[in-house]
Amino acid sequence: MLHKYVLLATLGLQAVTLRAQTEDGPAPQPVQTITLDPQTGLSAAVSLPNRTTVVFMVSTATPQVHAVGLGADGRTLWQKDLPRYQQTAGYYDSPRLPRYNVIGPGKDEEFRRQQASVQLEPMDVFTDGNEVYTVEAIRLGVAKKLLAANGLSENSVVVQRLGGGGELTRVVFEAPPRKTAVRTLGRYAEGGAYVELVREEGKGDAQAFYTERYDLQTRAIQRTPLTLPETPAAAARVYNDWAYLGHRPNQTYLFRRVGSKNREAFGRQPLEYQVLTLDNAGAATGGFTTTLALPKGSSPVYSAGLMPSLLEQTHVPRAITVAHQSNFDPLKRYDETLDEWNISTGIFGDFYLDYATGDVLLFGEYGPYALPTLARGATRQGSFIYRFGPDGKLQQQGLHAYSKEEIKAQDQANEGMWQNRRLHFLYDPFTQAPVLSFAGDGGYASLYYDQDLAFQRSGLLLRKASQQILVTNVKFASGSWVYKPWQGNRPETKSFGPGEATGAPVYAQLAALRRAAGAPYPYHQLFVSAFADRSALVLEQPQVLGGAVRVYALKP
């Protein structure tokens, strides 16, 4: 029996207690074990409606990607090697970007370097029903011999489709010439095609939006113009532009936070949260605008050093230069280039698309201000979560006022440094309920809600305590696409210590797997495909490179 201890806070009882970590039963037994060579790692996984999990494995020695289709019972259904024509060093998690896991390996530099070496970059992965698409745009600077040997050019876009049985279709498109600056706002796959939602920038503030559909059957690229509501002109530097939230069949979601309009400065009017839905022909099919029904005299507040980008969520960065005065020499100044999104409206609450229902969740924090303020040290009174239908009808709402103990717990997790504060959101696939976590260099302070968005409890897991225990790190397989950390996106994750494996029976089994692995594996991770009946397919990865990946089929 393991006798590790964890510092847990049951904040609703206003008490902090020590709990012993005890065995809740034997660890599940694997269905199979996949042995990896020392240069290969498990990169990502997607979960399909037919309960197949497609796993992508990447080697640091070759650009080629190995895909494996696993059934819900953990057995291998098919395997396929996918050509990848470019290989980069991948994404390295800089301190300014949100770490997907603050407890355990998230702070370890060697872990993050190894993670970067097995990223799929520059390959994108999308799902369309039970089919998986990979997309690779050839970049400038690729060796001409490599291009010629594979029938490619510097304008090529390689689209590959894996059918339900692993059948591979490969089509090479030549991207259309660009006469003006073009930025891709969103990407998805549907109806036998890969689609890009593109913003074209003209003279001055002129913008044009359209979709480019790469059809695998006709091998042609079809362009469809979109008519979007104009972006309000802002006097101050405020990010009012449309961003991409996600795509459901024949339904594309865009969103924005309007913090300044009619050239009024930010903070002189309520912050508007807007959602717009379009069909595949580019016609608007729904949407809504809300200022949120917060308590009287309250307004959304700055919540984190950098808000996460969840699932498919993408925005077009807008770089601005900010002058700073040196802390060491009052006569010296220096310039810093920042994304306008990260220092204006992009840090006030966030949007989450529920793919099952088409609803949109809005979540964040509020403070005692009549109008929004950009003050980083703003007082936070509580959190909010709202669920809206695509038509803007309010389905559910949850407001939670912080207790003194919860504020203290957040300060402990944050170690008093607002610059390091990060807000994590998980819509738990097993409980169908949200979790808000405030993470910093000190640990995690979490808020748990039920399916009706009613607040349930708070929890605290401190880093100092986690160094003495085994933390279970879970990474959920996406049902829509593979996240792109180098674009600021992050996977849906859950980290918990002993005594916190609650909410669904599967979590106790996952904790048992972590305990069985033991302390020699500090980089231990669990890739989880969650199914509607609360069963799960689990891939256990004790280390980033090499070793053995064990596959489990867990029952609720």
Provide the pLDDT for residue 6: 30
Residues in the chain where the model's pLDDT stays below 70 = 1-25, 88-109, 140-141, 143, 203-205, 305-306, 324-330, 416-419, 465-468, 483-490, 501
Provide the pLDDT for residue 487: 58
| pLDDT per residue as tens digits for the range 149-164 | 888 888 899 999 999 9
Q: Which of 187, 340, 375, 194 is nearest to 256 (CA)?
A: 340
Provide the pLDDT for residue 204: 62
The answer to whether the beta carbons of residues 384 and 402 sit under 8 Å apart is: no
Provide the pLDDT for residue 1: 23
Provide the pLDDT for residue 368: 94
Dihedral sign for Cα atoms in the order 96, 100, 105, 111: negative
Provide the pLDDT for residue 89: 53
| pLDDT per residue as tens digits for the range 292-335 | 989 889 999 988 766 777 888 888 888 888 776 666 666 777 77
The answer to whether the beta carbons of residues 278 and 245 sit under 8 Å apart is: no
Q: Where are the alpha helices (DSSP H) in 284-442?
A: 340-343, 404-414
The answer to whether the beta carbons of residues 76 and 67 sit under 8 Å apart is: no
The answer to whether the beta carbons of residues 303 and 349 sit under 8 Å apart is: yes
- The DSSP code sequence of 485-496 is GGGTEE--EEEE
Contacts of 490 (CB under 8 A, 6+ apart): 98, 100, 308, 309, 310, 483
Q: Is the peptide bond before 122 cis (omega within 30 degrees of 0)?
A: yes
CA–CA dist 254, 247 (Å, integer) = 9
